[in-house]
Amino acid sequence: MKMHYNWCQTQRSVLIIALIVIIIIFYIRFEFEINKIQTHNRQLDLLLTQTRFLRTGDDDSDSNLLIESDSQTLQEKTRRPIGGKDTVIIYNRVPKTGSTSFMGIAYDLCATNGFNVLHLNTSKNSHVMSLSDQLRFAANVSQWRSRHPALIHGHIAYIDFDRLGVSDVKPIYINLIRRPLERLVSYYYFLRNGDNFRPYVVRRRQGDKKTFDECVRRDEHDCHPDIMWLQIPFFCGHVFECWLPGNEWALSEAKRNLVDKYLLVGLTEQMSDFIAVLEAALPQFFAGAVQQYRSGQKAHLRKTYNKVKPMAETVAKIQESKVWRMENEFYEFASKQFQFILQRTLNTANGQSVDRGRQWFFEKVRPKR
Ligand SMILES: *[C@@H]1O[C@H](CO)[C@@H](O)[C@H](O)[C@H]1NC(C)=O
Ligand SMILES: *[C@@H]1O[C@H](CO)[C@@H](O)[C@H](O)[C@H]1NC(C)=O
């Protein structure tokens, strides 16, 4: 009886121990699974936030979620916004610099890349805004978050958001400029003949058959060198002196703004390089732009009708003017800066521009983890 009792007790202990072991194994296994599910959840959250940014940027509350994550590979695979989904790019396009062709690319890409394109229409095509309009514009741009990220374009001189006390959105400025005489000649014939972009629009000087050469010979208004005074004031901004043809302060201010306030200023003459640098620098907006530009080049080309190349004597006469010399100096300055950026950003071999990619890393990170 005693023997039997002891045997029974041992058997029960073994059973209990076995049961405990099984429970522990189950518990560990369970914990492991829970952990796995939590990791997956975090990755999903991250992916969702990022998709939301890429799609519309409609959510206003959790813009910083992107920063939190321990899933390295996922972060690296997904495009990261530089300024978050509230990035606003302002392209204050100068008339007749190829801006319509460039914007065609942006319109093609906006749905796929998940940004909004907003065209700014100023009444009477004025290039400067009143002080109150500047404030209203800056307030709208920073508060209209359901339309972020955004690419805003319009024929407006540079507006300094810092001066207006707007701190929640700091727009990224980009622009394109063109050789001043070529821009003027293009504008001259555009006013008379229109272009293939909106051929049905009756232009201001429609029907006038006078060539640019004749206009210059007769010293008429439409080809006066002062009309070239446009790229400098566009970069100089909303200051009285900016709009005085030949003003030296305006030229130096335009140069300063170009390097201080603009992320990138391209040249009409090197449109594909401009697009390639933008794609490398701002892929969340311009991924696929180079491809789009190559395949749709003909469709996007806006061509002024019946443009006549000016004669050498016309060119020589224009180049004597102070305004041409200053506008040209500004163009050359912009060109040097653009080549400087271009060489460091892209490898241009046999006509193809390839992003150099990341050329830096942190070598020593302390304290160790
Ligand atoms: C700007 O708006 C006015 C008034 O609605 C319109 O007549 C004009 O065509 C617009 N300009 C452009 C460039 O779309
Ligand atoms: C900004 O202006 C547009 C019209 O131009 C308007 O529809 C929109 O509601 C405005 N957004 C804000 C936040 O004021």
Give the pLDDT of residue 362: 95
* Backbone dihedral angles phi then psi of residue 149, each to the nearest 5 degrees: -65, 150
Interhelix angle 312-319/180-193, nearest 10 degrees: 120
Rounded CA separation 33/15 (Å): 27
Q: Is 140 in the pocket of ligand 2 (CB under 6 A)?
A: yes
Look at 24-33, 38-47, 223-232, 251-260 and tell me which has the smallest mean pLDDT: 38-47
Does 203 lie in the same domain as 263? yes
Residue nearest to atom 9 of ligand 2 (CA): 144
Does 261 lie in the same domain as 143? yes
Maximum mean pLDDT: which of 4-18, 20-34, 234-248:
234-248
Q: pLDDT averaged over the chain?
A: 85
Does 95 lie in the same domain as 47? no
Does 188 lie in the same domain as 112? yes
Decide if pLDDT at 211 tops 70.
Answer: yes
Look at 93-102, 103-112, 143-152, 193-202 and tell me which has the smallest mean pLDDT: 193-202
Q: In this structure, is residue 69 part of a structural domain?
A: no
Give the pLDDT of residue 31: 80
Nearest ligand 2 atom to the CA of 145 is: 13
Decide if pLDDT at 80 tops 50.
Answer: no
Task: Show the tokens assigned to 117.
Answer: 């394109």
Give the pLDDT of residue 176: 97
Residue with tokens 């049905």: 200
Give the pLDDT of residue 70: 43
pLDDT digits (tens, 9 = 90+) for 132-151: 999 999 999 999 999 999 99
Decide if pLDDT at 90 tops 60.
Answer: yes
Q: In this structure, is residue 71 part of a structural domain?
A: no
pLDDT-derived band of residue 57, with 50, 70 and 90 as boundaries?
A: very low
Does 161 lie in the same domain as 15? no
Does 111 lie in the same domain as 11? no
Decide if pLDDT at 335 tops 50.
Answer: yes
Q: What is the CATH number of the domain that holds 326?
A: 3.40.50.300
Distances in whole angstroms, Cα of residue 204 to Cα of each of 65, 143, 189, 190, 193: 52, 37, 11, 9, 9
Residue nearest to atom 10 of ligand 2 (CA): 140
Q: Is 206 in the pocket of ligand 2 (CB under 6 A)?
A: no
Residue 30: Cβ-neighbour burial (10 angstroms; 0-12, 13-18, 19+): exposed
Average pLDDT over every residue of 322-350: 95
Does 124 lie in the same domain as 16? no
pLDDT more than 90, % of the chain: 60
Q: Is 144 in the pocket of ligand 2 (CB under 6 A)?
A: yes
Give the pLDDT of residue 77: 40
Does 193 lie in the same domain as 333? yes
Q: In this structure, is residue 76 part of a structural domain?
A: no
Maximum mean pLDDT: which of 95-104, 149-158, 292-301:
149-158
pLDDT digits (tens, 9 = 90+) for 248-303: 999 999 999 999 999 999 999 999 999 999 999 999 999 999 999 988 765 556 77
Structural domain harbouring 314: 84-355
Residue nearest to atom 3 of ligand 2 (CA): 140
Please count the structural domains in the chain. Answer: 2
Look at 51-65, 83-97, 327-341, 343-357 and tell me which has the smallest mean pLDDT: 51-65
**Which among 120, 144, 148 is the best mutation to test ligand 2's pocket, defined by most ligand atoms within 8 Å of the CB?**
144
User: Could you tell me if 178 and 97 are in contact, meaning their C-beta atoms sit under 8 angstroms apart?
Assistant: yes
Decide if pLDDT at 32 tops 50.
Answer: yes
Does 196 lie in the same domain as 133? yes
Does 175 lie in the same domain as 36? no
* Catalytic (active site) residue 224: no
3-class secondary structure per residue, the chain = CHHHHHHHHHHHHHHHHHHHHHHHHHHHHHHHHHHHHHHHHHHHHHHHHHHHHHHCCCCCCCCCHHHCCCCHHHHHHCCCCCCHHHCEEEECCCCCCCHHHHHHHHHHHHHHHCCEEEECCCHHHCCCCCHHHHHHHHHHHHHCHHHCCEEEECCCCCCCCHHHCCCCCCCEEEEEECCHHHHHHHHHHHHHHCECCCCCCCCCCCCCCCCHHHHHHCCCHHHCHHHHCCHHHHHHCCCHHHHCCCCHHHHHHHHHHHHHCEEEEEEHHHHHHHHHHHHHHCHHHHCCHHHHHHHCHHHHCCCECCCCCCCHHHHHHHHCCHHHHHHHHHHHHHHHHHHHHHHHHEEEECCEEEECCCCCCCCCCCCCC
Instruction: Classify each residue of 67-79 as buried b or exposed e, where b means 16 or more C-beta atoms within 10 Å of its C-beta.
Output: eebebeeeeeebe
Q: In this structure, is residue 70 part of a structural domain?
A: no
* Catalytic (active site) residue 119: no
Q: In this structure, is residue 323 part of a structural domain?
A: yes
pLDDT-derived band of residue 319, with 50, 70 and 90 as boundaries?
A: very high
Q: In this structure, is residue 73 part of a structural domain?
A: no
Does 98 lie in the same domain as 45? no
To 5 degrees, how large is the angle CA 298–CA 301–CA 307? 120
Q: In this structure, is residue 225 part of a structural domain?
A: yes
Q: In this structure, is residue 67 part of a structural domain?
A: no
How many Å lie between the centroid of ligand 1 and the Cα of residue 120? 10
Average pLDDT over every residue of 309-326: 96
Average pLDDT over every residue of 183-198: 87
Residue ending a domain, among 17, 40, 55, is 55
pTM of the complete model:
0.77
pLDDT greater at residue 206 or residue 82: 206
User: Could you tell me if 173 and 262 are in contact, meaning their C-beta atoms sit under 8 angstroms apart?
Assistant: yes
